[in-house]
Amino acid sequence: MSSALPIYLTDKMPVNYISEKAVLCFKDEAAYIVLEESESENLRRIQKAGRQLDNQGIKQLAPMGDGWDKERQWALSLGYTSTLSTNKVQWHEGDKAVTEQLQHMSDVYRFARELVNLSAEEIYPLSLAERVANHLTELAPEHVSYEIIKGDELKDAGWMGIYTVGRASQHIPAMLVVDYNPTGDANAPVESALIGKGITYDSGGYSIKPSEGMLSMKCDMGGAATVSGALSLAIRNGLNKRVKLFLCCAENMIDGRAYKLGDVITYKNGTTVEVVNTDAEGRLVLADGLQAAGEAGAKQVIDAATLTGAAQMAVGNEYNALFSIDDQAATKALNCAVQQGEALWRLPLASWHAENCPSAFADTANSRPQKGGGAGGASNAAGFLLRFAPNDGKGWLHFDLAGAYQKSATAMWPVGATAMGVRTIAATITD
């Protein structure tokens, strides 16, 4: 095995033939990252340097010298890890506690990224549920129990959103319910519920996507990967509260049994929903997860989903979007995002957004019959979910994961999953 390349931080370019705008240079069999005055810009420069080092085929890095705090090492790791690489950062030996935290984060992010990056042939509803259940059980076997409700069992249990969206696939739909209870009290209250959109492949259904739009749709279970990773990280960080995880897993496919435009779904709580767009399926499955969280009596409810292109249009791929009608809960999440170094931006949501997808045949439609759901599509999608949020939306947070997946490489990120949001959600349920 080759030795690791030493990498140093400096405030002055150590060679005079490199452009002053360069973030990285090499000298005396070592690499140097040139810093500036702004720490936020420094983290960006370090992550960019990690991408450049990965692209050059360097297999191991060893941060050396002064200045390598936790966030700087993490920025290097984020840029240095790509889809197929087995790259390794040898963490700086300055602080053993920091080294342990970084290794926890690295292990969790590799797990979450792999779930998203693997093909739909490998990650389908049941395999997603089983992988996550096994991962969490191995992590805390004495505190984790789980149930997988699948196929026609979903219909019998009243989880009609997941059942309806997934019934046309050869891979049966499933809901994973994980109970993490470290209290030792079987009657302990559920402090938080995490809900993840687990659409392992999204063809769009009869509202079929164009070919180029389908290429990356193995990533449509990014919400499930994010909340699973968040719970994994929180457990590693000593989470001592009871948390339930609900993954809403299905493939949105087409055959003679597929749900159609004009169909009306009757949910467990009696709400009726007219389908005006089968490609607005994520909110249909999340509605089941939100009702399940309500049944569990969770005080804090967080859902995460690669839900709308409208959120990406609003915040780009550099941020995740946050929706809530609970200002206190939203402020807490935004503060956690700042502390964890993740980009999160709150977009508008008011109670009246729940009325923005009217139907003449049901209580609501699942979208507007317009491309992208029309103006305010991300807020209207969140408004649909608000109908199913427990406690009239108090304590509820909806993450629309615009930054969860990169369709092409950038200076900061490789192609594929980013796992952005894992740290923020983990901190939000731990705090």
Q: Which residues are catalytic?
A: 209, 283
The region that residue 419 occupies, defined by phi over 0 for left and psi between -120 and 50 for alpha, beta otherwise, is: left
Q: How far apart are CA 44 and CA 72, in angstroms?
A: 9
Q: By the 8 A CB rule, do 284 and 167 touch? A: no
Cα atoms in the 13 Å half-sphere on the side-chain side of 204: 14
Q: How far is Cα of residue 321 from the mean position of the Cα atoms in its chain?
A: 11
